[in-house]
Amino acid sequence: MSLLSRLFFLLVACALFVAGCASVPGPRAAAPAQAGRSTIQQDAPYMHQVESMARRRGIGVVWINPPVKRRPPPR
């Protein structure tokens, strides 16, 4: 590869690295739950039902985005 193409590749790699780091949430992104708002939790009974049915059929389940349900805040 010529010097120009190596420099171009390095520039593109650096740009992708910086863009990837910019999309990662920092410590300020995790806001505490506010009073009076619902909380979100995994829908464990539904997940158990799906996994049990899949296990009986010989199918493996991998949850990429597990199902969630909203729960009212504790009073």
- Each residue of 10-66: pLDDT tens digit? 888 877 777 766 666 665 555 555 555 667 788 899 999 999 999 999 999 999 999
How far apart, in whole angstroms, are the C-alpha atoms of residue 51 and residue 12? 43
Residue type, 8: F
Does residue 33 fall inside a structural domain? Answer: no
Whole-prediction pTM: 0.44
Q: Among all chains, which residue has been given the structure tokens 């995790």?
A: 30
Residue type, 4: L
Number of domains in the chain: 1
Does residue 24 fall inside a structural domain? Answer: no
Q: DSSP readout, 30-66?
A: -PPPPTTS-EEEE-HHHHHHHHHHHHHTT-----SS-
Tokens of 29: 């992104």
Does residue 71 fall inside a structural domain? Answer: yes
Residue type, 28: R
